[in-house]
Amino acid sequence: MEKQKQRGEFDLIKELFVPLSKNSQGAFGLEDDACVILPDPGFELVVTSDAIVSGVHFRSDDPPDTIGRKLLRVNLSDLSAMGATPLGYILAIVLSPEHRGDWLDSFASGLAQDQRTFALTLLGGDTVSTTGPSTFVVTAFGQARRGSVICRSGAKVGDKVYVSGALGEGALGLMVLRGELPNLSDCDTKSLVNSYRIPKPRLALGKRLTHLASSAIDISDGLLADLGHLAKCSGVGVDIQESLIPMSKEVQGLVSQIPSLAQLILSGGDDYELAFTAPPRNQEAIEAAARDVGVPVSCIGTIVKTAGVRCLSRDGVNISPDRTGFTHF
């Protein structure tokens, strides 16, 4: 620990981060003013950026390796929603003194683990200190065939609305960590917390959707909030059926015990599943693509002319809550 406290800026970079860049020629061993990225011929670069702040986006008692992994994964989730394949990332570290020792080693080991999982490499960055909470910013790079990226703005009236996977586990995992779901089995607890801490970016599905989906977004702020963003960008509205929203058996069980949790499935966020739209004629191709990549997709509604997002209960009542997702200020 003493040794680590004494590591300077350049030692930190050399010990923890240069090894993360070793698979990239263009990173120049993190020793240059900038890095070089060249997309494959016929491809364009897709770039996204996410910032996380200690105490806001992660908890001081989260294992640091999972914080690093989640930071990469939320960026990869953005790339997946555009249909891009990840290439690498730039990391800005704004470090509080409390995170300078073993904590940062563990954080970097999480990055290393997910670099292997997703065939990514660290390309560059900056390391500075702060008196405030530690903050990390990842700018992630992917590539997609020129003109093939899926935007939020392409949904058309009559398109079907789909989501991947199952919703609610991330938001319930956060409730568990806050002590708000005290009576769960150890197994349920572990599984929900894991979903919150280590989301699964839907990269293979996103890539397959490039020629099938008319629009896509990843669900980070909450299903209704993110469908709202998509609808607004496309100049359309969304009607979904509550009964069609996919949930794991575990989550279904919890919702039937505590009916107020149903709201959380709609607006909780932290799902990192894809919500997307497609013309009805693509339904079979979408189902085939989903089978190929091993990710279930569910059709939950339709794009309509009337602006806004309506979530209809079995008896046709709009149950969209007023507050539909997380905003920062």
Residues of this chain, 244-303, that bind its own copies according to CB under 8 A? none
Residue 205 region, left (φ>0) first, then alpha (ψ -120 to 50), else beta?
alpha
Stretch that binds its own copies, among 88-96, 110-118, 286-294, 308-316 (CB under 8 A): 88-96
**Interacting residue with its own copies among 25, 60, 130, 318 (CB under 8 A):** 130
Which of residues 253 and 321 has its CB atom nearest to its own copies in the complex?
A: 321
Residues of this chain, 17-46, that bind its own copies according to CB under 8 A? 26, 28, 31-39, 44-46
Residue 166 region, left (φ>0) first, then alpha (ψ -120 to 50), else beta?
beta
Please answer whether residues 150 and 86 qualify as being in contact, where contact means their C-beta atoms are separated by less than 8 angstroms.
no
Q: Is residue 84 involved in binding its own copies (CB under 8 A)?
A: yes
Which of residues 39 and 308 has its CB atom nearest to its own copies in the complex?
A: 39
**Interacting residue with its own copies among 12, 166, 251, 300 (CB under 8 A):** 12
Q: Is residue 153 involved in binding its own copies (CB under 8 A)?
A: yes
Q: Is residue 142 involved in binding its own copies (CB under 8 A)?
A: yes
Smallest distance from its own copies to CB 49, Å? 5
Which of residues 115 and 134 has its CB atom nearest to its own copies in the complex?
A: 134
Measured distance CA(228)–CA(221) in Å, rounded: 10
Q: Is residue 67 involved in binding its own copies (CB under 8 A)?
A: no
Residue 179 region, left (φ>0) first, then alpha (ψ -120 to 50), else beta?
left
Q: Is residue 51 involved in binding its own copies (CB under 8 A)?
A: yes
**Interacting residue with its own copies among 60, 126, 235, 292 (CB under 8 A):** 126
Q: Is residue 57 involved in binding its own copies (CB under 8 A)?
A: yes
Q: What DSSP letter does each residue of 211-266 carry, written as one string?
A: GT-SEEEE-SS-HHHHHHHHHHHHT-EEEEEGGGS---HHHHHHHHHSGGGHHHHH
Residues of this chain, 172-231, that bind its own copies according to CB under 8 A? 216-218, 229
Smallest distance from its own copies to CB 109, Å? 20
Stretch that binds its own copies, among 58-66, 105-113, 120-128, 159-167 (CB under 8 A): 120-128
Please answer whether residues 238 and 245 qualify as being in contact, where contact means their C-beta atoms are separated by less than 8 angstroms.
no
39's tokens = 């997309």
Please report, for residues 52, 59, 220, 221, the alpha-carbon distance to residue 297 in angstroms, rounded to integers and kept in the order given: 29, 31, 17, 19
Smallest distance from its own copies to CB 329, Å? 5
DSSP state of 271: -
Which of residues 53 and 312 has its CB atom nearest to its own copies in the complex?
A: 53
Please answer whether residues 169 and 193 qualify as being in contact, where contact means their C-beta atoms are separated by less than 8 angstroms.
no
